[in-house]
């Protein structure tokens, strides 16, 4: 069946190794020579990604001069000011969003995304794709919200499960002064695995298959597209792999999204260049394409910081945002605790934010080990002038954008080892298509020493639980959040857990109670998981590239 995911990126990647001498793309690469003609044209592509419901300016983490610093960035009204400045300089500007727009903040969650259509219409995007989190409120709400944007929404690989008809158009073509620019949307086919399975009920996903390749080829050979963009929500590892895959032989640029990476110089693949413009509305990617006599002769790229001093908030849009927030503001801006140390979640292995959350879960449940998903998510909470920083419910939603109940169970030391090895392979495999997110699972009550460079199944060097070496045949109590749609005996992808019990409280309940008892907190990096080759401050590990998070 053509909707099948059996033909995946990996099979096509193997084929890529057999045709290293393929040269058909080189004829279409950017030409640096001009003909001397005065028939010139400049087209601008602006890209946002992974805004995750962040409406306002907020603290953002940067890695500069080998240390973490924080600067205020972002805000949708500030982004609109940036958009308008760019459009004023060049009316031939196309604005793209790469998904994960309507989930990630308390205002997004409590309104189930309903606050966004009017805001997004006001920002005047040209084309948008759904991301892996757009499904969070269910299929019908996603369709209602995204179809209310009054802009093009494209996705090649999302279908109504019953009819197999596409949820959205699969591509969009924009013609500017005779130049055809094509956009094809591609969401992560693993959404039903990555997210709570119940979220995507009624939606079928396909992968990078023959039908997808046929669409790309048709846009170039039959539709006459001059520059072809893939707007993908796959993560940087798979996006770079796709740029090296023959399926992309007719693709010029991959506007990537999902892993919140800050690519400041496009990564050149064999067939296409890859970008990814950070997250939370803190950055906007800007690609300028220069044409002479209809030929692309030059491209330039920059990642623009959404600095509120350079891009003050658009007053009308800010009023609209403030009005949308009003019904939820009293609840969400309630202070629930304080922190004396910065809370953030940007590192690959361990973060203060996750240490606080897993400590709270272990304190409440009394288990040996509390575990939580690893991901780069949530705006930093930063003390200033030596005073503890307040933690609000809005912050809590930023840290934990899905509020599920906890469940506890028991697993043997051998089970825990095997599970951790799988989690490490998900995060550190040198094969891009084996990556699953790119961040290690987090935990409290356990310490792990490992070597990320070792082969699959051989990375763990030492595990201790509550200070004692882990024993293969001993049962340990563990806790994790419920993932609706998962089997009862599955805790954070660990299967066959024994004596599972569902708690009657949610993770938000737990953190609020913990903060009432322990505030102000001061979580820090403790080497709960440590790899010597990665060090304490590992932000990104992207195989086969020189990319570094900044």
CB neighbour burial string for 137-158, b if at least 16 within 10 angstroms, e if fewer: bbbebbbebbeebebbbbbbbb
In this structure, what are the phi and psi dihedrals at residue 512, rounded to the nearest 5 degrees?
-60, -45
510 close to 361: Cβ distance less than 8 angstroms:
yes
Residue 379, pLDDT score? 93
Type and span of the H or E element at 26? none
Q: How confident is the model over 342-400, as pLDDT tens digits? A: 999 999 999 999 999 999 999 999 999 999 988 888 999 999 999 999 999 999 999 99
pLDDT, mean of residues 194-206? 91
Examine the pLDDT at 36 and tell me if it is beyond 80: no
Q: How confident is the model over 22-31, as pLDDT tens digits? A: 334 434 444 4
How many other β-carbons are positioned within 10 Å of the β-carbon of residue 516? 10
Residue 517, pLDDT score? 97
Residue 38, pLDDT score? 58
Examine the pLDDT at 158 and tell me if it is beyond 90: yes
Q: How confident is the model over 217-276, as pLDDT tens digits? A: 999 999 999 999 999 999 999 999 999 999 999 999 999 999 999 999 999 999 999 999
pLDDT, mean of residues 517-530? 97
In 3D, which of 133, 144, 301, 146 has the Cα closest to residue 233?
133
What's the Cα-to-Cα distance from 46 to each of 98, 396, 416, 532, rounded to whole Å?
A: 11, 31, 45, 39
What's the Cα-to-Cα distance from 323 to each of 302, 329, 427, rounded to whole Å?
A: 33, 10, 41
pLDDT, mean of residues 317-346? 98
pLDDT, mean of residues 450-461? 96
Please report the DSSP string for 336-379 in residue order: EEEESS-B----SS--HHHHHHHHHHHHHH--SEEEE-----S-
Residue 28, pLDDT score? 42
List, in sequence order, the alpha helices (H) in 207-270. 210-221, 236-243
Residue 438, pLDDT score? 76
Residue 16, pLDDT score? 40
In 3D, which of 343, 355, 347, 352 has the Cα closest to residue 382?
343
pTM: 0.91
Type and span of the H or E element at 288? strand 283-292
pLDDT, mean of residues 184-196? 91
In 3D, which of 104, 121, 103, 57 has the Cα closest to residue 320?
121
Q: How confident is the model over 88-135, as pLDDT tens digits? A: 999 999 999 999 999 999 999 999 999 999 999 999 999 999 999 999
Q: How confident is the model over 139-157, as pLDDT tens digits? A: 999 999 999 999 999 999 9
Residue 372, pLDDT score? 94
Residue 228, pLDDT score? 98
Residue 238, pLDDT score? 93
In 3D, which of 32, 53, 43, 47 has the Cα closest to residue 263?
47
pLDDT confidence band for 196 (50 / 70 / 90): confident
Q: How confident is the model over 266-319, as pLDDT tens digits? A: 999 999 999 999 999 999 999 999 999 999 999 999 999 999 999 999 999 999
Residue 376, pLDDT score? 84
């Amino acid at each position: 069946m053509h909707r099948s995911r059996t033909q995946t990126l990996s099979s096509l990647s193997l084929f890529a190794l057999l045709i290293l001498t393929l040269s058909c793309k080189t004829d279409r690469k950017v030409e640096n020579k001009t003909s001397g003609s005065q028939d010139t044209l400049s087209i601008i592509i602006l890209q946002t990604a992974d805004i995750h419901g962040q409406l306002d300016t907020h603290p953002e983490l940067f890695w500069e001069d080998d240390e973490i610093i924080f600067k205020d960035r972002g805000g949708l009204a500030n982004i609109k000011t940036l958009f308008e400045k760019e459009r004023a300089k060049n009316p031939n500007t196309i604005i793209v969003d790469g998904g994960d727009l309507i989930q990630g903040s308390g205002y997004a969650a409590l309104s189930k995304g309903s606050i966004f259509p009017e805001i997004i219409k006001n920002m005047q995007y040209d084309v948008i794709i759904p991301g892996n989190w757009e499904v969070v409120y269910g299929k019908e709400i996603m369709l209602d919200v995204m179809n209310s944007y009054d802009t093009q929404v494209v996705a090649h690989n999302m279908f109504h499960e019953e009819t197999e008809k596409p949820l959205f158009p699969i591509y969009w073509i924009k013609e500017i002064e005779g130049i055809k620019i094509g956009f094809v949307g591609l969401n992560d086919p693993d959404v039903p695995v990555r997210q709570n399975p119940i979220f995507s009920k009624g939606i079928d996903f396909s992968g990078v298959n023959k039908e997808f390749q046929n669409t790309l080829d048709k846009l170039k050979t039959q539709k006459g597209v001059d520059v072809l963009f893939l707007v993908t929500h796959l993560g940087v590892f798979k996006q770079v792999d796709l740029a090296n895959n023959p399926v992309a032989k007719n693709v010029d640029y991959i506007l990537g999204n999902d892993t919140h990476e800050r690519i400041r110089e496009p990564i050149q693949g064999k067939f296409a260049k890859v970008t990814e413009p950070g997250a939370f509305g803190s950055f906007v990617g800007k690609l300028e394409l220069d044409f002479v006599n209809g030929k692309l002769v030059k491209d330039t790229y920059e990642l623009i910081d959404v600095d509120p001093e350079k891009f003050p908030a658009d007053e009308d849009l800010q009023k609209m945002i403030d009005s949308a927030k009003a019904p939820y503001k009293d609840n969400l801006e309630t202070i629930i605790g304080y922190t004396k140390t910065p809370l953030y979640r940007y590192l690959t292995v361990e973060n203060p934010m996750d240490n606080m959350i897993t400590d709270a879960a272990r304190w409440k449940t009394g288990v040996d080990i509390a575990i939580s998903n690893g991901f780069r998510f949530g705006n930093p909470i930063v003390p200033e002038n030596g005073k503890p920083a307040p933690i609000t419910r809005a912050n809590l939603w930023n840290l934990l954008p899905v509020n599920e109940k906890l469940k506890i169970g028991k697993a043997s030391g051998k089970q825990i080892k095997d599970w951790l090895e799988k989690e490490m392979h998900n995060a550190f495999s040198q094969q891009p298509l084996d990556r699953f997110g790119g961040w290690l699972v987090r935990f409290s009550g356990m310490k792990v020493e490992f070597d990320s460079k070792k082969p699959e199944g051989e990375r763990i060097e030492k595990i201790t639980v509550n200070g004692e070496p882990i024993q293969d045949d001993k049962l340990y109590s563990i806790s994790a959040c419920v993932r609706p749609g998962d089997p009862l005996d599955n805790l954070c992808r660990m299967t066959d857990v024994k004596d599972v019990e569902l708690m009657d409280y949610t993770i938000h309940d737990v953190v609020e109670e913990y903060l009432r008892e322990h505030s102000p907190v001061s979580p820090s990096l403790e080497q709960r998981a440590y790899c010597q080759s990665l060090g304490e401050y590992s932000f990104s590990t992207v195989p086969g590239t020189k990319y570094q998070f900044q």
